[in-house]
Amino acid sequence: MVDRSQIREAVPGDAARLSQVLREAFEEYRGRLDPPSSAHDKTEAVVTRELQDGGAFVAEEDGVLHGCVFFHPKADHVYLDRLAVLPAFRGQGLSLRLMEAVEARARELGHSRVRLSVRLALESHHAWYARQGYGFHSHGTHAGYASPTFLVLEKTL
């Protein structure tokens, strides 16, 4: 399958479709992650707030969203959040293109680092991010848990 998706910045009117993409893309993790992924709770209102806190990029073809990624500028880095590609469109390089859009935005904002979080349980994701140049920054622990539940990874641009 040839990818013809265009990457563009999300607009507020995308919020409902973004929330749907997040829920569908993260459905495979339902019941597999402890704590459960909050992606299942991303309503249009929540997505609208997240867009206001930073922004997002979408992969779109003919008005249909195939994937998305959110970003949040911080004092010393840009946080890459909720990279999601619908299962039918995986394996076409969309995740990489979406990440590159966030990295380009970080550079535009004058940041030289991008950070993201990935669950400890998703070891295949750790390897994929490492291949994209992301390395260990720190461990993180979800509220209510005694030991780490995720890794924070960082890439220097």
What does the pLDDT read at residue 87?
Answer: 95
Higher pLDDT, residue 128 or 32 = 128
**CATH label of the domain that carries residue 102:** 3.40.630.30
Q: How many domains does the chain have?
A: 1
Does residue 137 form part of some domain? no
Does residue 80 form part of some domain? yes
What does the pLDDT read at residue 21?
Answer: 96
- The residue range of the domain holding 10 is 6-111
Does residue 50 form part of some domain? yes
Summarize pLDDT for 60-119 with one digit per residue, the tens.
999 999 999 999 999 999 999 999 999 999 999 999 999 999 999 999 999 999 999 999
Claim: this prediction has a pTM higher than 0.85: yes
Does residue 12 form part of some domain? yes
List of residues 6+ apart from 125 with CB closer than 8 A: 118, 119
